[in-house]
Structure 1
Amino acid sequence: MTRAEEDDGVDAAHDPGFDVARQRAEAVSGARPHAVIVNAGEGRTIRVGTAGWTDPTLTAPGVFYPSDATTPEARLRYYASRFPTVEIDAPYYALPTPRNGELWAARTPDDFVFDVKAFALMTGHPTEVARFPKTIRDALPKDLAARTRVYAKDLPGEIVDEVWSTFRLALQPLVDAGKMGAVLLQYPRWHMPNALGRDEILDARARLPDVQLAVEFRNRRWLAPTVADRVFRFLADHDMAYVVVDEPQGLASSVPPVTAVTSSELAIVRMHGRRGDQWERRGASVADKYRYLYDAEQLAEWAPRIAEVAAQAKQTRVVFNNCYGNYGTTNALEMTAMLAE
């Protein structure tokens, strides 16, 4: 199948169902210890995991979790027995609390690492008013409180300040436990490589000065040939990790899979799948966009590229965001096995 044909849909090999994915996972994990942290040499490590552990298609009976893992605590403990890292995406939709951070830290091993996706409002996305904490909703002007969704530009400065401080406070238990990785700043398609776009990134750096930040773009203009080198220098100058992506190509939002490293401390590779037919489709659900199981050849193409990235940063994390059922967990186990070899 050609890339063009693949981008028009997804064939059975890349959406074979949960049973096939489970068989592939068992084939690579049966004799291998779980939660492997790959040694990349000279004190450098690679951790492989997924974007979240609570997706409904993943928690469905018989897909990934054992039958007795029916509570949030049991599921996180089981997930952490299989993988040494996870990206928490729930804070993108609703601001977390310190209690969330305390529970995440308490339910995972000492060497486990969390990356946390920034709240939507913090990266220029719209946010549902109903998802604000009550204290922030009550402080909204009446006209804004009556809206369904708002952007940061709509809000008074003190409300925006409260959003950022609330988010940062929730991270402190992870920081105290030594389990805080990076805050993922995933900017939307309309975030452009201009002065305003750079200022928004610098604002995030100023508001979270003591936390590692990682930046993911969803507009290919950031990596245009005449711009990319300056973008990478900009991120390096401000100690922010560029997020390397594998995603559908040939679309307005398609960022090429350039393996740039802009922080000596951290590199992140996010594997989104290649559902080109769904990536920009209006109304596409999360399951629609990420319902894609990488095949062995595709993973093998990425393994040496990840090793190349890992040679340039103390920590590398590979995050499978093809979170449909057990597709992401299967590919994460397979990639771990490839890198460990």
Structure 2
Amino acid sequence: MPIHIGLAGWGDHDQLYISVAKAGSKLRQYAKHFPLVEVDSTFYAIQSKERFAKWLEDTPENLHFVVKAYQGMTGHQRGPSIPATETNEMFAAFREMLEPVIAAGRLTAALFQYPPWFDCTQANVRMLRETKARMDGITCALEFRHQSWFTEEYREKTLAFMEREQWIHSVCDEPQAGVGSIPTVLKATDAEATIVRFHGRNVSGWNQASAPNWREVRYLYRYSEAELLDWADKLRLLEQQSKHVYVIFNNNSGGDAAGNAKRLMELLGLTRPDGGSPNEPPAPVVEQLDLF
């Protein structure tokens, strides 16, 4: 199926795990619902390749991974410039972490999401080129958060740059809340793959980074039936431009991501990985009892 739908992370979607007692079993149960997952823990810390290998071991071969780049690699940590030696070490550790998922043929892309202050400048274009060179040989997706990349003046140039440098376009659905948000641009830059990420449309909560619970507020949104129907048409348009369209729901704060994802699967006529209906409960994970 050329459209693949999943969620950002697998730990916060309680409605999927009613029959699962162990936290370690959640990813296995998740894989019964969706064929795609975004690993967002890697944004906060580069994981060991042994941990990634365990995630692969615990899940079926048809579960694929979008892996979010570590925040130090995308400039989210403000402050003095990171020395080149530390940058080299970060990228080397990130690449090493990806070795098992690449070897298994289950990496959709490493996702480089840049912060709201990463604007369209020559210095930042140069940084993107350097990043792509550091990730040579690994499929990478690019997502902006600063509106300047998609102004009327630069939109086509940005897309042409992404295509030329072989970045998969990560298309966004997010609030239109000033320069720190981008419009939905329905244009593929890679014939093989396009990623679409749903962040919700909570305009009032989008720019509340100073609030103590800003992450919860930002992604607190439930897509309506009309909005999902509209996106079903948009995904079919993207499907004409790329062989595969990978969709991630990131509106997790209110527990809405899984329900929205399953409803969009229904609207598109997609099934669970086991062929069942999206809203039918799959067979629960059988857990081994710990005797000692």
TM-score (norm 2): 0.88
Equivalences for residues 151-190 of structure 1 within 5 A? 151=79, 154-190=81-117
State yes or no: 1:76 paired with 2:27: yes
Which residue identity is paired with 1:294?
A: Y
Question: SS where residue 54 of structure 1 aligns?
Answer: coil
Q: Gaps spanning 5+ residues in structure 1: where?
A: 1-38, 40-44, 127-149
**Structure 1 residues 91-124: Cα deviation after superposition (integer angstroms, max 9, x where no partner):** 0001111012101211221121100000001011
Once residues 81 and 150 of structure 2 are traced to their aligned partners in structure 1, the CA distance between those partners, rounded to angstroms, is 29
Structure 1 or 2: larger helix share?
1
Which structure has the higher relative contact order (CA within 8 Å, separation 6+)? 1
Q: Would you say the 8 A contact 1:101–1:173 is kept in 2?
A: yes
State yes or no: 1:264 paired with 2:195: no
Question: SS where residue 229 of structure 2 aligns?
Answer: helix
Label 1:298 to 1:65 Cα distance change in 2 as closer, same or farther (>3 A). Answer: same
Which residue identity is paired with 1:191?
A: F
From 214, 220, 236, the equivalent of 2:147 is 220
Once residues 62 and 147 of structure 2 are traced to their aligned partners in structure 1, the CA distance between those partners, rounded to angstroms, is 35
Q: Would you say the 8 A contact 1:69–1:78 is kept in 2?
A: no
Once residues 240 and 340 of structure 1 are traced to their aligned partners in structure 2, the CA distance between those partners, rounded to angstroms, is 29
Once residues 277 and 250 of structure 1 are traced to their aligned partners in structure 2, the CA distance between those partners, rounded to angstroms, is 8
State yes or no: 1:297 paired with 2:226: yes
From 138, 143, 162, the equivalent of 1:235 is 162
Question: SS where residue 117 of structure 2 aligns?
Answer: coil
- Identical columns (%): 32
Q: CA deviation at 1:219?
A: 0.6
Which residue identity is paired with 2:204?
A: D
**Structure 1 residues 110-144: Cα deviation after superposition (integer angstroms, max 9, x where no partner):** 12110000000101111xxxxxxxxxxxxxxxxxx
Residue in structure 1 matched with residue 73 of structure 2 by the alignment: 122
Label 1:69 to 1:313 Cα distance change in 2 as closer, same or farther (>3 A). Answer: farther
From 172, 188, 196, the equivalent of 2:123 is 196
Once residues 316 and 323 of structure 1 are traced to their aligned partners in structure 2, the CA distance between those partners, rounded to angstroms, is 21
Once residues 235 and 252 of structure 1 are traced to their aligned partners in structure 2, the CA distance between those partners, rounded to angstroms, is 20
Q: CA deviation at 1:325?
A: 4.7
Residue in structure 1 matched with residue 282 of structure 2 by the alignment: none
Which residue identity is paired with 1:337?
A: E
Q: CA deviation at 1:88?
A: 0.5
From 30, 48, 52, the equivalent of 2:5 is 48
**Structure 1 residues 71-104: Cα deviation after superposition (integer angstroms, max 9, x where no partner):** 22x1000000000000100000011110121012
Residue in structure 1 matched with residue 48 of structure 2 by the alignment: 97
Q: CA deviation at 1:68?
A: 2.6
**Structure 1 residues 178-206: Cα deviation after superposition (integer angstroms, max 9, x where no partner):** 11110111001111111111111111110
Once residues 297 and 318 of structure 1 are traced to their aligned partners in structure 2, the CA distance between those partners, rounded to angstroms, is 18
State yes or no: 1:323 paired with 2:280: no
Which deviates further from its counterpart, 232-241 or 95-104?
95-104
Which residue identity is paired with 1:338?
A: L
Once residues 117 and 146 of structure 2 are traced to their aligned partners in structure 1, the CA distance between those partners, rounded to angstroms, is 7
Once residues 288 and 226 of structure 1 are traced to their aligned partners in structure 2, the CA distance between those partners, rounded to angstroms, is 32
Q: CA deviation at 1:336?
A: 1.0
TM-score (norm 1): 0.76
Once residues 325 and 100 of structure 1 are traced to their aligned partners in structure 2, the CA distance between those partners, rounded to angstroms, is 28
Once residues 223 and 265 of structure 2 are traced to their aligned partners in structure 1, the CA distance between those partners, rounded to angstroms, is 14
Q: CA deviation at 1:333?
A: 0.6
